[in-house]
């Protein structure tokens, strides 16, 4: 009984629930914090996207070649193509995502509590359901931003059209395909990002619990010793972020490659998802579905670790005084 109580107490010291947060401070500070993380990691997304859409005849077939080409043509600014569009849409999308994530996680934990599952299993299920739900809700904002930013990322590359900024992309897409053109690949986005988000948050939640469980076992569940230091919190959260990013990138890269190709196609290049798969396999075999895996693996691991550290710090910063 004491062991169980200590375990619950310890986990409550490592996690801050939604009802304990100052929401206004959380949204305002969070917008600035996540903007900074996006600035740092955005170039990786540009490189990944270019690798995924490269044709068989493209000279730049690896990440370093793409980076050299972008810097040679546009300087450092080339690594931030489409950034303005992304950052404008990311703030409302992030608010939707985080709100759905936290509220769903609380509800999911309550629903599975009567089943008396192990802590890591409970965390995996609740976090996984929350991650998937949050992703589905936020795709309504993310997909149009994705379509516009990716067209800007690849403009003039491997035969793709050039544009005069984000508004020019939106205007031309709506003119040729209507509003639904901004939602090209929506189904695949949901199929890509929702499982990816579920896998990411499930891996993160369960790996954290496993690490804390091992720590508690090593200390005999002594409550006084169970309270983690700031360094321990950061190390465990960073480890969870790396594990989650690595797992999610390996599972979902093929769908992400297909989705990206569909979204950057011009009006005259209408292909179905099946045709895109056939073209990728024709050009590179089955490994074509894993184009950009290296940058995506790095991006999801680096983004996941940076994001979760920023997110957990934000929650500690915005927690209400007891």
- 318 Cβ neighbours under 8 A, 6+ residues apart: 21, 22, 25, 26, 29, 30
**In the predicted model, is pLDDT for residue 313 greater than 80?**
yes
**Beta carbons of 238 and 21 less than 8 angstroms apart:** no
The rounded distance, in Å, linking the Cα atoms of 225 and 73 is 57
Average pLDDT over the chain, rounded to an integer? 83
pLDDT for 220: 45
Which candidate, 138, 136, 161, 135, places its Cα nearest to that of 150? Answer: 161
pLDDT for 105: 93
Q: What is the pLDDT of residues 257-287, one digit of tens each?
A: 888 888 777 655 667 888 888 888 888 888 8
CB atoms within 10 A of CB 288: 18
**Beta carbons of 220 and 183 less than 8 angstroms apart:** no
pLDDT for 19: 86
Q: Helix 293-317 and helix 230-264: axis angle, to 10°?
A: 130
The SS3 assignment for 319 reads: strand
Buried b (16+ CB within 10 A) or exposed e, 96-131: bbbbbbbebbeebbeebeeeeeebbebbbbbbbbbb
Q: What is the pLDDT of residues 217-270, one digit of tens each?
A: 555 444 445 567 788 888 988 998 888 888 888 888 888 888 888 877 765 566
pLDDT for 129: 96
């Amino acid at each position: 009984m004491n062991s169980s109580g200590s375990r619950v107490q310890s986990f409550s010291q490592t996690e801050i629930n939604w009802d304990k947060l100052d929401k206004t401070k959380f949204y305002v500070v969070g917008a600035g914090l996540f903007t900074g993380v996006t600035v740092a990691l955005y170039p990786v997304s540009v490189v990944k996207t270019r690798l995924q859409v490269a044709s068989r005849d493209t000279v730049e077939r690896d990440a370093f070649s793409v980076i050299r080409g972008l810097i040679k043509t546009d300087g450092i600014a080339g690594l931030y193509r489409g950034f303005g569009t992304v950052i404008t849409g990311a703030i409302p999308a992030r608010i939707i995502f985080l709100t759905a994530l936290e509220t769903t996680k609380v509800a999911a934990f309550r629903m599975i509590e009567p089943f008396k599952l192990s802590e890591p299993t409970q965390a995996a299920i609740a976090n996984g359901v929350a991650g998937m739900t949050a992703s589905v809700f936020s795709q309504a904002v993310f997909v149009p931003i994705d379509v516009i930013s990716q067209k800007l990322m690849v403009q003039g590359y491997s035969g793709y059209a050039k544009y005069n900024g984000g508004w020019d992309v939106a205007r031309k897409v709506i003119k040729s395909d209507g509003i639904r053109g901004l939602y090209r690949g929506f189904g695949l986005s949901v199929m890509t990002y929702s499982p990816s988000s579920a896998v990411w948050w499930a891996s993160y939640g369960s790996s954290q619990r496993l690490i804390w469980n091992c720590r508690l076992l090593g200390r005999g569940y002594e409550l006084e010793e169970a309270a983690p230091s700031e360094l321990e919190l950061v190390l465990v959260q960073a480890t969870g972020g790396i594990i989650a990013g690595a797992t999610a990138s390996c599972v979902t890269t093929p769908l992400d490659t297909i989705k990206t190709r569909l979204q950057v196609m011009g009006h005259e290049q209408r292909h179905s998802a099946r045709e895109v798969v056939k073209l990728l396999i024709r050009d590179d075999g089955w490994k074509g579905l894993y184009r950009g895996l290296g940058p995506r693996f790095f991006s999801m691991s680096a983004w996941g670790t940076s994001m979760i550290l920023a997110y957990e710090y934000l929650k500690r910063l915005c927690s209400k005084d007891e």
